[in-house]
Amino acid sequence: WNDIGAGLTPDGYIVYEQVIKVNDSEAPEFVIPAIDGCIVDTDCDTDITIPYPDILDQCSANFEVDLSGDFGDFTDIAGDITIDDVVPGEYTVYYVVTDNCGNSSYDEVTIVVEDCKLPTPYCLNGIVVEIMQTGMIDVWASDLNLGSFDNCPGALKFSFSPDVDDIGVTYTCDDLGQQPVEIWVTDVAGNQDFCETFIVVQD
């Protein structure tokens, strides 16, 4: 600009280049889908699928997903990871999700692997008991077991109802004849099933 007289007049122009950088500084958000840890097979183990997270970030097109924990380390996974023959227990998996700008988010999930298969009850096809001189007779639910079993190791409990403490019944002279009963079998994980049979009470 030149100062000519009382006014200003332009005599050229200036070119200036400005670089504007837009940076993503927000860590990506993600959600870990539910993981099924139920054992329903005859073997006391199951295959566990560790899912690829649902990533909610809108800035990056690609993400690096790393896993670590009780099942080992997995770097830059591209999808679900399957772990074979996992036995009952609690397992922890740590997730790290990193976007294109180097921002990372962290989360962890506890996977509970448990026996969900019902035990297999087998009952004797009835038993006969006799009232004693005391005027009564005690019968235990386990007396009617005929080889019940479960897919997982551990002692089974036998009862006359879903109440695991209902293990015995007392019959008196008022109970003569055939008495229908249910024998409930409970495994270590608390799963229950039952079979029906009867007790013949004689004098």
pLDDT averages per 10-residue partition of the chain, 203 residues: 58 79 79 95 95 86 93 96 96 95 93 97 96 95 97 97 97 96 97 97 95
What is residue 26's predicted lDDT score, i.e. its pLDDT? 82
Helix then strand then coil, in percent of the chain rounded to 5, is 5, 45, 50
Quickly count: other Cβ atoms within 10 Å of residue 56's Cβ: 9
What is residue 73's predicted lDDT score, i.e. its pLDDT? 97
Query: Which candidate, 193, 200, 96, 86, places its Cα nearest to that of 150?
Result: 193
**Coil, strand or helix at 29:** coil
E strand spans, the chain: 2-4, 7-9, 30-31, 38-39, 46-50, 54-55, 64-69, 81-86, 89-98, 104-115, 127-130, 136-140, 157-159, 168-172, 177-186, 192-202
Q: What does the alpha-carbon distance between residue 82 and residue 33 come to, in Å, rounded to a whole number?
A: 14
Residue 175 DSSP label: G
What is residue 74's predicted lDDT score, i.e. its pLDDT? 97
What is residue 144's predicted lDDT score, i.e. its pLDDT? 97
Q: What does the alpha-carbon distance between residue 121 and residue 21 come to, in Å, rounded to a whole number?
A: 70
pTM of full prediction above 0.85: no
